[in-house]
Amino acid sequence: MPFSSLGLSAPLLVAIKEKGYTSPYPIQQEVIPAVLKGRDIVGIAQTGSGKTASFALPILELFQHRKTNRNRYVRALVLVPTRELAVQIEEVFRGFGSRLDRQVKTLAVYGGVSINPQMMKLSGTDVLVATPGRLLDLLSSNSVQLSEVEVLVLDEADKILNLGFQEEVNRILALLPAKRQNLLFSATLSGDVDELMTKVLSDPLKITIQEEASVPDLITQVAYQVEPEKKGPLLRYLIRQSDMQQVLVFTSSIRTADNVAGKLQKHGIEAAAFHGDKSQGGRTESLKKFKAGKLRVLVATDLASRGIDIKFLPYVINYELPRSPKDYVHRIGRTGRAGSSGEAISLITPEDAHHFRIIQKKMGKRVEVLPTDDFDLQGQ
């Protein structure tokens, strides 16, 4: 099925082609026509399934034909859990909207940076991508109005609720007009998400894309046995031995992320830590360099990893295992994005062995654990 069969106009089809997309992903095939028909949507799909384009493209299609909205009265609101995801979605809207005759202005707003520049940029915004806390800050100063919102998107609704934004979301919902189109996306369904669906959606079309079980099948997984004190040398050995040039390394704490990045730099491997204690400017610059292939290693915590969306990321390394098997699948799913292949490596200490067996059982896939006794880690 080509994009041209989904009801999108010529300028968007040109932009899609320029971005290198040849055919829509399953979620895009189902969501785009439904959004254009005005349906409320609940989409259950994993990160990397193509869901951002599934709502960005039809919103751009609809808004390009409408007159400019009143100043600071946004037409579409996209609520997201993290700063990185807000920036990523803004980039998708701007990229696909580049060929439109009437530009649909998109702006991402989030905490961690000065609010004044964001206030100044709000003028003429059609699509506002926002984290809940920063949006409430802007609303309290009357910098933006929600009374004319036509489309509400709740992206990664499960993560929004898990991060404790439920009260903020309820306050925002109370300010929206009753008549609007609602699109809710989540990787999982839970009691909180079900309650939010009931509160927000009207006769929704439910679309489920089963990605989680298949994601590991797209990825070559391997693990290495290692003593805790040899983790750092083994990491550097693997990076050098395979000449890895774009590596996302996961740690379970901010302190470890800083230590691992520092040791890599000390040993001549360009690296940066990526976590919530870094300034927004520093995080944005590191992610930009990493995506462009100008930074060899990005060392991230799980929370900061939200929004790291790199189409052909070749390597993910679990320096430390996550507590949850779901988080393990999410981590390795940073590679093997939407059909592309990748390699996921885990460093397993004796203390990790039992937990790693549980992860494999939950995932339904066995991962070979290789010895490292013969590796020459001297000088690493």
Average of pLDDT values for 21-27? 86
DSSP label at 188? S
Average of pLDDT values for 73-91? 90
Residue 301: phi and psi, rounded to 5, are -90, 165
Query: Which three-class secondary structure state does DSSP give residue 189?
Result: coil
Residue 245 shares a structural domain with residue 328: yes
Residue 66 shares a structural domain with residue 166: yes
Residue 210: predicted pLDDT? 65
Q: Is 194 a residue whose pLDDT tops 50?
A: yes
List the beta bridge partners of residue 30.
Answer: none
Give the tens place of pLDDT for each residue, 215-246. 556 789 999 999 999 999 999 999 999 999 89
CATH number at residue 108: 3.40.50.300
C-alpha distance from residue 70 to each of 75, 81, 126, 136, 281 (Å): 9, 27, 9, 20, 31
Tell me which residue of 324, 34, 322, 39 sits closest to 180, measured CA to CA: 39
The pTM score is: 0.67
Distance between CA 10 and CA 312 in Å, rounded? 27
Residue 109 shares a structural domain with residue 185: yes
Domain hosting 123: range is 3-208
Tell me which residue of 66, 67, 72, 68 sits closest to 123, measured CA to CA: 72
How much is the mean pLDDT over the chain? 88
Give the tens place of pLDDT for each residue, 328-340. 887 888 886 656 6
Under 8 Å between Cβ of 352 and 321: yes
* Cα 160 from chain centroid (whole Å): 12
Residue 61 shares a structural domain with residue 200: yes
